[in-house]
Amino acid sequence: MKLLKLFLVVFLQIYSTSATPSVLIVGAGPAGIAAATRLLSNGHTNVRLLEAENRVGGRVDSVFFGEAYVDLGAESCHGTKDNAVYELVKDFDVLRHTETPTKIYHSSRRTIDEEFSQELVEIIASIYSPDGHRDEVEGKSVGQYCMDKFNSTIFERYQERPEKLEVAKSSTELFHHIVLGFEGAFSWFEPSAKNDYTECDGDLELNWNGFGYKTVLEALTRKFPNPSDQLPFDQTVLLNKEVVKVLWNESSSQNSVMVICSDHSSFTADHLIWTPSIGVLKERHQKIFVPRLPKEKREAIKEIGFGAVMKVAMYFKRRWWTPETNFTGFHFIWSDHDANLLRKEFPEGPLKEGRSWLTELFSVVPAPNNPHVLVAWLTGDMIPEIESMANDTMIQGLEFALKKFLGHEYNITKPDAIIRTYWHTNAHFRGSYSFQTVQARKNKITAEVELAVPLLNKDGRPIVQFAGEASHPYFYSTVHGAIETGYREADRLINLYK
């Protein structure tokens, strides 16, 4: 009897190994990690993750700086209801609410009192939210929509108070930069005002209290909260494996895909899940996929929007700002006059059409639970050039701008150290997060939905599947969206082999 049992166990093990397909996952960001861990926890052990960088996480990049982790990529969990990120960590008391800045400073140092600052921020928030279910504006850009509404609102409200009207007018660029922070575009005339993005209910700005967004990736692999529960995830990942070719064979049903990496190594599998950003696809899909991708997919890749935002975390040994518990940071408005003067006052660094790179700086906020670190936010069409600046020039420029806006109230010092982002420059990302353009909405199914359609073999089985934030129909641009797409593609295989 014992012998029979042993035979049965060995038989089942052999049978189950041969019954699980081989799966290659390209990219170990949230989507890739979600797909891998979902497969692993459903008995699919023949999984390999190929990651081009020397770390996992993708656009989740938590770096220890100052006295805690700073997030160079994703930093907020947006909402709590039906949010995959929140679901993974809700029992562990790690998330904290983030207050957004309400205090606006003007480059001329004219006083914008607390109440007026608050009013302007509220006007902006009442006109724009990334959730763009605005039927009346199909075909319009976010920029057109916001400018029209903003101009009429401030005119109506401040027409009898010319001083306020002038400040409100010059806050249009601040509004533009805030919108770009949400959309990730280079200009607010790129994203569509009507879009499918959907906000989860609940607190939309939750931070990781200095423990970093990486916590959610550790929750996916089950390293968090208890490292001894970790799935065999580390063993499935190969770092520094940049996939340069995906050869997919429609006429085969086994080992139908082969990838070649930049170090000339190659791998074959029954299925491949592709997760790199839409920026990577835009730049290289023609070189990577053999045979080339179908026309609908190529068009979708072209139509989905992608730009970049930039963050610079600044460490100050001596904290010059007020250590109040309710300190939420600063927003900045450049007057046209001061923006023009910048070319002379701080001529170093990139210029575009006469505009200094410093006009892309619009906000400085405290890093969560990190008392000596402030994070500068820059958005706009100069980000690619700003990313190529030398650190020294950037530090001098930031010190200059901080003194310009705040020097009359604070004894500003130079940052003692900075760390900064290169999302656009890095060939493994080429940007920060996707947005929906007017073009992406022109067909019955949107470009995001089209991107998610798998490439099938002659038997109708998926060979190459597409995950990643840009392939989510309504949570694109987010970590919770990326995780759902990883689950989606893993489940496609789990169901196929049930």
Ligand X SMILES: Cc1cc2nc3c(=O)[nH]c(=O)nc-3n(C[C@H](O)[C@H](O)[C@H](O)COP(=O)(O)OP(=O)(O)OC[C@H]3O[C@@H](n4cnc5c(N)ncnc54)[C@H](O)[C@@H]3O)c2cc1C
Q: Which of 120, 185, 204, 280 binds ligand X (CB under 6 A)?
A: 280
Tell me: does residue 51 bind ligand X (CB under 6 A). yes
Tell me: does residue 423 bind ligand X (CB under 6 A). yes
Closest CA to 273 of 248, 298, 252, 292: 248
Q: Which residue number, 332 or 429, has a Cβ lying nearer to ligand X?
A: 429
Cis peptide before 291 (omega within 30 of 0): yes
Provide the token pair at 62. Answer: 């938590």
Tell me: does residue 191 bind ligand X (CB under 6 A). no
Select from 95-103, 117-125, 224-232, 422-430 the region that touches ligand X (CB under 6 A). 422-430
Tell me: does residue 361 bind ligand X (CB under 6 A). no
Q: What SS3 state is found at 333?
A: strand
Q: Which of 20, 171, 275, 359 binds ligand X (CB under 6 A)?
A: 275
Tell me: does residue 180 bind ligand X (CB under 6 A). no
Q: Which of 199, 203, 242, 381 binds ligand X (CB under 6 A)?
A: 242
Tell me: does residue 477 bind ligand X (CB under 6 A). yes
Q: Which of 52, 70, 88, 216 binds ligand X (CB under 6 A)?
A: 52
Tell me: does residue 212 bind ligand X (CB under 6 A). no
Tell me: does residue 30 bind ligand X (CB under 6 A). yes
Q: Which residue number, 236 or 277, has a Cβ lying nearer to ligand X?
A: 277
Tell me: does residue 82 bind ligand X (CB under 6 A). no
What is the sign of the dihedral through the CA atoms of 399, 403, 407 and 409? negative
Minimum distance from residue 200 beta carbon to ligand X (Å): 10
Residue 351 zone, left/alpha/beta (φ > 0; ψ -120 to 50; rest): beta
Say if residue 423 is exposed, middle or buried (CB neighbours under 10 Å; 0-12, 13-18, 19+): buried
Q: Which of 468, 484, 489, 493 binds ligand X (CB under 6 A)?
A: 468
What is the sign of the dihedral through the CA atoms of 124, 130, 134 and 137? positive
Angle, CA of 252, 256 and 261, to the nearest 5°: 155
Tell me: does residue 210 bind ligand X (CB under 6 A). no
Q: Which residue number, 131 or 166, has a Cβ lying nearer to ligand X?
A: 131
Number of residues that bind ligand X (CB under 6 A): 41
Cis peptide before 294 (omega within 30 of 0): no
How does DSSP classify residue 81? T
Closest CA to 186 of 195, 177, 197, 194: 177
Instruction: Calculate helix-pair angle for 172-183, 162-170, nearest 10 degrees.
Output: 30
Tell me: does residue 277 bind ligand X (CB under 6 A). yes
Residue type, 107: S
User: What are the residues binding ligand X (CB under 6 A)?
Assistant: 26-32, 50-53, 58-60, 73-76, 78, 241-243, 275-277, 280, 309, 311, 421, 423, 428-429, 432-433, 468-469, 477-480, 482
